[in-house]
Amino acid sequence: MNPRLQAALEAGRKGGCPGIAPYLTAGDGGLGRTLAALHAIEKAGAVCVELGLPFSDPLADGPVLQAAAERSLEGGMTPTGTLDLIQRYRQEGGQMAVLLFSYTNPLFVGLGGLRASAERLATVGGDGFVVPDLPPELAGELQDACEELDLGTVFFATPRSSPARIRAAAEASSGFLYCVGRVGVTGQRTHFDAEVLRWLDQVRDLAGSTPMAVGFGVATPGDITALAGHTDLAISGSALVQHLHRTKGTDQDGAQAAFDFVAALCGAQPD
Amino acid sequence: MSTFQLPTHFGRFGGCYAPETLMPALLELEAAYIEATGDGAFEQELQRLRRDFAGRATPLFHARRLSQEWGLDLWIKREDLLHTGAHKLNNALGQALLAKRMGKTRILAETGAGQHGVASATVCALLGLECVVYMGEVDMQRQRPNVERMHLLGARVEPVKSGQRTLKDAVNEALRAWVSDPDAHYLLGSALGPHPFPTMVAAFHQVIGDEAKQQFQAQGDGSLPDLAVACVGGGSNAIGLFRAFVPHDSVTLVGVEAGGRGSEPGEHAARWLGGQEGVLHGCRTLVLADEHGQIQGTHSISAGLDYPAVGPEHAHLADIGRARYETAMDDEALEGFAALARLEGVLPALESSHALGWLMSHREEWRGKQVVLGLSGRGDKDLDTVLPLLGGQA
C-alpha cells in the first residue's frame, strides 16, 4: 500500500477514535487559503486529506460543496491548479496523505484521461484517488495505473449496496472503503445511531482486510466518539468547508479556523 | 445482485458513471425492466395505453406542398399528434408503467422544454402516482404554459436555481433528489444518463421508427426512404426514429443539433461541433466542456435542445459512421417553423423545427429524394418565443 496512506491508517487505528480525514475544496477562498488550511489541519492531527477538485456538475454533492466548487471555479481553479497545490504542499514539507477527490470528467478531459491523471498525481506527491462517479466496474484503467504507481484507490459502500457489491468495492479499494453512512447527498447531518453502527460492523465483516472510512454527515466530536471502534477513518467535509467559508479574514485566520475545527474532532475521546 | 445484466455500452460510449449511492436503484431498475419486457402482460398494457390513451399509431403525413416547394418527397412522422403534443409520452408511459409495477408511488422527473415534465405529470395522473418535476428557472420562464399544464395535472414543479438554471442543472437536481429518495422512480426524459436509461428510453421510443418504416413502405412499393432526419437534443426522438433504419445502409441518418447563434462556446448546443469525449450525468459521450473538463453553458432558441451532452447511442452511431450529425442555427429553425406552418398548416415545436430548417437549407442535396422527418412535437408551447420573432410576418 501507498506508504503515506498506510501511515495514515495506522495512526487512525492507534487511538480509540478513528483517524480524522478532512475534505477541503481546492481553491475555495483562494489557493493560499487552501494551502494554509492543509498545513493547519495536519498540525491539528488530521492523518489524511481529501482534496476536492472543483467540478461544474457535482451530482453527489449537496448545496454546501456545490457552492464551494462554484466559488473555487470562479476564482480560476483548474485541475492542473489543484495538482500544483498538492505539489506546493509537499514542497513546503506537508506529510499528510493527500487523496484527490474528483468527478470523472475533469480527469478525462482536464488531465488527459485516467492513466494520465494517475501519473500526474504521482508526480506531484499525491497518494490516491476518490472518484465518486467511477464505480469499480469502470475503474479498471485507473486501478491498473494506481497499482503501478503505488497510489491508493477508494470505492464506496452505502446502506443500500448489496453484500456482493460491498465485497467487490472493498476488493477494488487499495486505499480504503468509503462508507456512506446514509442515503442522500453530502452535507446533511447523519445520526450515527445503533442501526448505522450495526451496518458499519457488517461492512467490516464484508470488507475483509480493507480499511474503512466513514463519511457524509460527520461534523462534530460527538460523531467521532460514536464512530469509535467502527471505522479506521472519519471524513468530515461539508461542515468544515462551511466553517472555513464563514470565517472571514486572512489566509491565517482561515488556517486557525481549520485548525480549531479539526483539533476538536481529533480531540474526541471514546465513551 | 451486484452488477448489470444487459450490455451497458454502445461501442465505447454509455456505461454507468454513477455514484454508489445511485447504483442500487439503477440495478433494481434494470432488473425490473428485464423482467417486465419479458412479460406479455406488461407489453399488452403498454400497447393498450399507447393506442387508447396516447393515440398511437401516429400518422406518417405526406407533406405535398412543402415537398413541391423544396423539390423533394417529404414524409413527416407526426409525433406532434401524440397526446400531450410530443414524442415524450412514449417513454413516460413505459417508465411509469414499470415504476408502478415496481411498487413505486412517487415519480421524479427533470424537464427542459417542459414536454417531458408534462408527459410525466400526465402519466402520473393516469396511473395515480405522485409527481415532482425539476425544472430550471430559466426554462420555467420561457416555457410558462407547460409549467401551468403540469400544475393542472397535479404535479409539483421544483424550480432549479443552480448552475445555468436549464436542463443540465435540472438533471443534476433530479439525480440528487433520487439519491435521497430511493423509494421514488426517476423518470429520466431522454436516451441518456447512466445505464439502463439510454437502452430503456430508446426502446420505449423505438415505436416511432417501427411505425414510420412500416407506414412508409405501405404507401409505396415497399422500398425505404433515402433519408431519415430528426432533431437531437438528448436524442430520444431521433434514436426512436433511427433504430428501425440503422440496419438498412441505404437510408442516410441525419441528426440535427442546435447551432444556436454561433460557433463560440456558450452560443450553441452542437456537441459534434464543439464537444469532446467526456462523462456527464452518468454516461460517457460527447460533451461540451472546456479544456479543464468543466461543463460549458449552451444556447438554443429551443429549450429541448439546450443540453451540453448527447445520448451515448448517437455518439456511437457517429463514431462508426452510421449516422451524421449536423446543425441548424436558431434562424434556420425559425425558417423551418414558418415553412411548415404556412405550407402545411402545422405549427412544429422549435426542437423539430431544427430538422425542418436543416432540410430547407440542404434541400438541393436531397433533390428528388424520399425523406422521412421526425416531427417530435407541436409548437404551441413555443409561441412566446416565436411570436416576437415571426409575428410581424403573420
pLDDT over 90, % of chain A: 90
What pLDDT score was predicted for residue B309?
96
Active centre residues of A (catalytic) = 50, 61
Nearest by CB: A160 against B24, B284, B291? B24
Is A156 within 8 Å of chain B by CB? Answer: yes
DSSP letters for chain A: --HHHHHHHHHHHHSSSPEEEEEEETTTT-HHHHHHHHHHHHHHT--EEEEEPP-S--TT--HHHHHHHHHHHHTT--HHHHHHHHHHHHHTT--SEEEEE--HHIIIIISSSHHHHHHHHHHHT--EEE-TT--GGG-HHHHHHHHHHT-EEEEEE-TTS-HHHHHHHHHH-SSEEEEESSSS-TTS-----HHHHHHHHHHHHHHTT--EEEESS--SHHHHHHHTTT-SEEEE-HHHHHHHHH--S-HHHHHHHHHHHHHHHHT----
Selected for mutation to probe chain B from A71, A183, A186, A189 (highest B CB count within 10 Å) is A183
Q: Do B182 and A183 touch (CB under 8 A)?
A: yes
Q: How close does chain A come to B280, measured CA to CA in Å?
A: 7
Collect all residues of chain A within an 8 Å Cβ-Cβ radius of residue B18. 133, 135
Locate cell 422549435: which residue? Answer: B350
Test B21 with A184 for CB contact under 8 angstroms: yes
Please give the pLDDT value at position B394: 46
A193 alpha carbon, distance to own chain's centre: 22
Of B20, B21, B172, the CB nearest to A57: B172
What pLDDT is stored for residue B141 in this prediction? 87
Task: For residues B248 and B156, state if they share a domain.
Answer: no
Distance, in Å, from the CA atom of B272 to the CA atom of B261, rounded to the nearest integer, reads 16
Same domain, B76 and B129: no
Q: What is residue B393's predicted lDDT score, i.e. its pLDDT?
A: 57
Q: Which of A82-86, A143-147, A189-193, B48-52 has the lowest mean pLDDT?
A: A189-193
Of the three residues B197, B226, B257, the one that is the final residue of a domain is B197
pLDDT of A206-235, one tens digit each?
A: 999 999 999 998 999 999 999 999 999 999
In this predicted structure, the answer to whether residue A63 has a pLDDT above a threshold of 60 is: yes
What residues of chain A, 107 to 146, have a C-beta less than 8 Å from chain B? 107-111, 132-135, 137-138
> Are residues B72 and B92 part of one domain?
no
Residues B74 and B173 in one domain: no
Tell me, yes or no, whether B301 lies in a domain: yes
The pTM for the full model equals: 0.96
Domain end position, chosen among B154, B178, B197: B197
Q: Does residue B38 share a domain with residue B66?
A: no
With CA atoms as reference, report the closest residue to B383 among B372, B375, B373, B394.
B394
pLDDT above 70 coverage of chain A, percent = 100
Structural domain of B248: 56-85+205-393
Partner-chain contact B17 A156, CB within 8 Å: no
Report how many domains make up chain B: 2
Q: Identify whether the C-beta of residue A223 lies closer than 8 Å to the C-beta of residue A197.
A: no
CATH of region A3-8+18-265, choose from 3.30.750.24, 3.30.70.1050, 3.20.20.70, 3.20.20.390: 3.20.20.70
How far apart are the CA of A75 and the nearest CA of chain B, in angstroms? 14
Does one domain contain both B368 and B277? yes
Q: Which of B151, B116, B24, B99 is nearest to B307 (CA)?
A: B116
DSSP helix/strand/coil, B57? coil
Residue B384's pLDDT is 85
Q: How far is CA B21 from CA A61, A77, A142, A162, B296, in A?
A: 11, 27, 20, 12, 26
The complex scores an ipTM of 0.95
For residue B293, the chain A residue with the least C-alpha distance is A106
| Pair (B267, B254) in one structural domain | yes
B161 shares a domain with B240: no
d(CA B280, CA B310): 9
Cell readout for B381 is 408551447
Domain check: are B122 and B210 in the same one?
no
pLDDT attached to residue A186: 83
In a domain, B3, yes or no: no
Burial of A271 (0-12, 13-18, 19+ CB in 10 A): exposed
Looking at the structure, tell me whether residues B120 and B71 fall in a common domain: no
Considering only CB atoms, which chain B residues are within 8 Å of A134?
Answer: 17
Query: Do B295 and A56 lie within an 8 Å CB cutoff?
Result: yes
* Torsion angle of the four alpha carbons B105, B110, B116, B121, in this order, in degrees rounded to the nearest 10: 30
Q: Per the domain annotation, does B2 fall within a domain?
A: no
Same domain as B150, residue B46: yes
Residue B110 annotated in active site: yes
The DSSP bridge partners found for residue B101 are none
The 10s digit of each residue's pLDDT in A100-109 is 999 999 999 9
Q: Across the interface, do A180 and B21 touch by the CB < 8 Å criterion?
A: yes
- Chain A residues near residue B162 by CB distance under 8 angstroms: 66
Cell (9 digits) for A66: 456545490
Taking alpha carbons only, the member of B300, B185, B291 closest to residue B234 is B300
Last residue of a domain, one of B197, B218, B241: B197
Whole-angstrom Cα distance, residue B147 to residue A56? 27
Same domain assignment for residues B264 and B342? yes
Q: Residue B294: closest CA among chain A residues belongs to which residue?
A: A56
CA dihedral for A198, A199, A203, A205, sign (positive or negative): positive
CA of B243, closest CA in chain A: separation in Å? 27
How far apart, in whole angstroms, are the C-alpha atoms of residue B234 and residue B283? Answer: 12
Whether B4 maps to a domain, the answer reads no
Q: What is the DSSP letter of B143?
A: T
Nearest-by-Cβ selection for A157 from B20, B162, B292: B20
Count of A-B CB contacts under 8 Å: 123
Give the pLDDT confidence score for residue B37 in this predicted structure: 96
Indicate yes or no: CB of A59 within 8 angstroms of CB of B279: no
Assess if residue B1 is contained within a domain: no
pLDDT, averaged in runs of 10, over chain B (394 residues): 88 97 96 97 98 98 98 98 97 98 97 93 98 95 89 98 89 94 93 98 98 97 97 97 98 97 93 94 97 94 92 98 98 98 97 98 98 96 89 59
